Amino acid sequence: MHTVGSYEAKTHLSRLLQMVAKGESVTITKHGVPIARLVPANADAKRKPAQVIEELREFRSGRKLGKLSLRKMIEEGRRF
Using one digit for the tens of pLDDT, what is the confidence trace for 23-48?
899 999 999 899 999 988 876 667 78
- 23, 2 in Cβ contact below 8 A? no
pLDDT number for residue 30: 92
Mean pLDDT estimate for the chain: 85
**What's this model's pTM, rounded to 2 decimal places?**
0.53
CA distance 41 to 3: 18
Fold of 1-80: YefM-like fold (3.40.1620)
pLDDT number for residue 80: 64
Q: Name residue 5's beta-bridge partners.
A: 29
Q: Where would I find the beta strands (DSSP E) of 1-80? A: 2-5, 26-30, 33-38
Using one digit for the tens of pLDDT, what is the confidence trace for 46-69?
778 888 888 888 877 777 767 777
Contacts of residue 37, defined as CB under 8 A and 6 or more positions apart, other chains included, come to 25, 26, 27, 28
Strands of the sheet with 33-38, listed across from one edge: 2-5, 26-30, 33-38
pLDDT number for residue 77: 79
